[in-house]
Amino acid sequence: MDYGHSERPPGAATLPTAIKILVAGGFGVGKTTMVGAVSETRPLRTEEVLTESGVGIDDLSGVEAKQTTTVAMDFGRITISDDLVLYLFGTPGQDRFWFVWDELSLGAIGAVVLADTRRLADCFPSIDYFEGRGTPFLVAVNCFEGAREYRLDEVQAALNLDPEVPVLLCDARSRSSAKEVLITLVEHAMKVRDARRSVD
Amino acid sequence: MTLQGESAEHQWVDDHAGPVVRPYAVTGGRARPVTGTFDLISLVTATRKDVSPEIGLGPEHLAIVGLCQRMQSVAEIAAHLDLPVGTVRVLLGDLVARSLVQIREPQSTVGIPDHSIFEAVINGLRAL
């Protein structure tokens, strides 16, 4: 950490920009595993604390004695270049924390919805959420050992997805597989963006 | 606190115990920053190499300046200092008010990212 101001990037260069992608899905589907597989460091954990100022909008009936609620989010960083940093955020699984989802999805370029074919219904809330918000997303089916393999069109039909939404198989533990999922997502998000722009 | 006291503390304070110090204790009870909104991925860079302790600045403020010698997001600061994001936002507001850190808001809150950003991300991911 021993450098002077002169070694900082010159002001004329592009200012650094951060963008984010969300990784959503049911509990235990491999969100943090995927974030860790492709990030440059092990996943970090950050916490939002819901305090008294927020209890008016949150149903705490039955837990009156509890003063604060903590929502943990795991995330990772991929430095694309000196002036572009990509952050991957695993969304908190608990459905009652939608207010955190709203904050996370604000400005996200897209979302990966991880699915487990043994518990497909677990990813419904995530899909509903991103469809409702208009956030570009894809469904990545994490291939767990011992799970019966379905064809991708079967998954697509079971989820009643728009045919434009990419559905692919992945191994959340594998860096190359997680990379491919992210590339497919960003390509999809770019298409969605261009389509919206031409409508405007 | 003695070493013995610390090890005794570790026996009962685990993740499930929740925060031991109330989250806004280090902000003097303030829940909102004096200035700024601070997205989770707003990038923070210190404007000075170090800051000497002064009135109104606590050890957490100084820790943020130290950490942000290298550009960090708000989320990373919170994770590294093990503080809730809301607390970090208040501390960052104090630092911005004193011009001790510089904030770069994420592209995405300004508008839909440019085509070139999507392409840079795709190329960057391919090169990983």
Tell me the per-residue pLDDT of A70-114, one tens digit each, with 9 for 90 and over: 788 999 999 999 889 999 999 887 666 777 888 888 889 999 999
Q: Which of A128, A127, A63, A125 lies closest to A94 in space, CA to CA? A: A125
Predicted local distance difference test score (pLDDT) of residue A78: 96
Interface of B with A (CB under 8 A): 18-19, 22-24, 31, 39-43, 49, 66, 69-71, 73, 75-76, 78-80, 84-87, 104, 106-109, 112-113, 115, 117-122, 124-126, 128
**What is the C-alpha separation between A27 and A31, in angstroms, rounded?**
8
Dihedral sign (CA A176, A179, A185, A189)? negative
Yes or no: say if A17 and A84 are a contact pair by the CB < 8 Å rule. Answer: yes
Nearest-Cα distance to chain B for A198, in Å, is 13
Per-residue confidence band for A4, with pLDDT thresholds at 50, 70 and 90: very low
Nearest-Cα distance to chain B for A121, in Å, is 28
Average model confidence (pLDDT) for chain B?
Answer: 84
Per-residue confidence band for B36, with pLDDT thresholds at 50, 70 and 90: confident
**What is the C-alpha separation between A15 and A34, in angstroms, rounded?**
29
**What is the C-alpha separation between A33 and A63, in angstroms, rounded?**
32
Please judge whether B85 and A175 are an interchain contact, meaning their C-beta atoms are less than 8 angstroms apart. no
Yes or no: say if A114 and A25 are a contact pair by the CB < 8 Å rule. Answer: yes
Yes or no: say if B108 and B43 are a contact pair by the CB < 8 Å rule. Answer: no
> Chain B: residue nearest A107 by CA?
B108
**What is the C-alpha separation between B92 and B112, in angstroms, rounded?**
26
- Residue A31 one-letter amino acid: K
Give the pair of three-digit tokens for residue A29. Answer: 């589907």
Whether pTM > 0.90 for this model: the answer is: no
**What is the C-alpha separation between A174 and A182, in angstroms, rounded?**
12
**What is the C-alpha separation between A72 and A168, in angstroms, rounded?**
28
Yes or no: say if B26 and B64 are a contact pair by the CB < 8 Å rule. Answer: no
Tell me the per-residue pLDDT of A14-39, one tens digit each, with 9 for 90 and over: 567 899 999 999 888 999 999 999 99
Write the CA distances from B49 to B54, B55, B60, B101, B117, integer angstroms: 15, 19, 16, 11, 31
**What is the C-alpha separation between B107 and A87, in angstroms, rounded?**
13
Per-residue confidence band for B37, with pLDDT thresholds at 50, 70 and 90: confident
DSSP A65-88: T---EEEEEEEEEEEEETTEEEEE
Give the pair of three-digit tokens for residue A62. Answer: 């039955």
Predicted local distance difference test score (pLDDT) of residue B24: 80
Residues linked to residue A139 through DSSP beta bridges, in sequence order: A113, A167
Strands (E), chain B: 43-46, 72-73, 101-104
Q: How many helices (H) and strands (E) does chain A have?
A: 5, 7
The correct CATH number of A14-199 out of 3.50.50.60, 3.40.50.300, 3.90.1150.10, 3.40.50.1370 is 3.40.50.300
Yes or no: say if A21 and A108 are a contact pair by the CB < 8 Å rule. Answer: yes
The most distant pair of C-alpha atoms in chain B lies apart, rounded to whole Å, by 58
Domains of chain B in start order, with CATH, are 19-109 (1.10.10)
Per-residue confidence band for A148, with pLDDT thresholds at 50, 70 and 90: confident
The complex scores an ipTM of: 0.81
The percent of residues above 90 in pLDDT, for chain A, comes to 54
Yes or no: say if A115 and A169 are a contact pair by the CB < 8 Å rule. Answer: no
Predicted local distance difference test score (pLDDT) of residue B50: 82
Closest CB to A46: pick one of B39, B85, B107: B85
Q: Out of A26-30, A130-134, B5-9, B12-16, give the one with best mean pLDDT.
A: A130-134
Predicted local distance difference test score (pLDDT) of residue A5: 43
Average model confidence (pLDDT) for chain A?
Answer: 83
**What is the C-alpha separation between A93 and B80, in angstroms, rounded?**
22
Predicted local distance difference test score (pLDDT) of residue B44: 96
Dihedral sign (CA A99, A100, A102, A103)? positive
